[in-house]
Amino acid sequence: MKDFVSVNGIQICVERRGNGAPLLMIPGLGAGNWLWSKSRHDLSQHFELIMPELRGSGRSDKPDQFYSIALFAADLKSLLDQFDIQKMNVLGASLGGFVAQYFAALWPERVARLVLVSTSLGGQRQIGPDGEILSRLIRPRGKTRRERLEDAYALNFTKEFMERHPEDLARITNSRLQYPQPEYIYYRQLLAGNAYDGAALAEKIAAPTLICAAKDDPLVPPENASSLIEKIPHAQSMIFEGRHMFFFEQCRKFNQAVVEFFKQ
């Protein structure tokens, strides 16, 4: 079921699927709910999935204003209040992992268990991409929108996956072209992530936490998982093969790990 919900002066697109304990799934930079295309079927067999698209992404409104991790989290809290969901499991990927950490730290009574995927603490404790990759992220000019998306796939997927599953990449491309993110909004979200420093907040996370990282992630190197474990009191980690969106390539292993963790 898809719906549009008014939160903090904008319309947020949210999908709900499945039955069971609620599971809030928070996507990353510029991503819509296509991000969960390899997980939502399996996870919806066990949980009621709450899948919002953050302000500035997908089918949600894209106002030209100051964005922050705190604002994203406030949007989600308002959404959950309207759905009368008081406690749930939370899964956040990449930028969505920042939002998940912030939410779990500020409203610990509402988070039962937490899964963080391809993310970091942010701030000075973050181990970021190298200079060449960073330049590709912040200077995507001179290419068509389709070319930019295809260039980004090499950072998110292994060469083997791209060669074997062109249909998956085509679906992602079509979804992103259908609901394009303006360049200025991309930078709004990017700056929100760059401004986030979660070292102090992470210590306030009370929920048992599973940190999932990829061995060859060029955007968020796996060393970031160690920093998260140091700060989050009840955390454990699991390292997967693959790159930033390893949960596509390793979907069976990832989905099983998530189900087992949330059902503990």
Per-residue pLDDT, averaged over 20-42, amounts to 96
202: left (phi over 0), alpha (psi -120 to 50) or beta: alpha
Q: Write down the domain spans for the chain.
A: 2-262
Domain topology for 2-262: Rossmann fold (3.40.50)
pTM comes to: 0.95
119: left (phi over 0), alpha (psi -120 to 50) or beta: beta
pLDDT of 141 > 70? The answer is no
* pLDDT (tens digit per residue) in 233-253: 999 999 999 999 999 999 999
pLDDT of 84 > 60? The answer is yes
Instruction: Report the Cα 114 to chain-centroid distance in Å.
Output: 12
What pLDDT score does 138 carry? 63
A 10 A CB-CB count for 263 gives 12
Decide the pairing of beta strands 111-117 and 88-93: parallel
What pLDDT score does 136 carry? 65
Percent of the chain exceeding pLDDT 90 equals 86
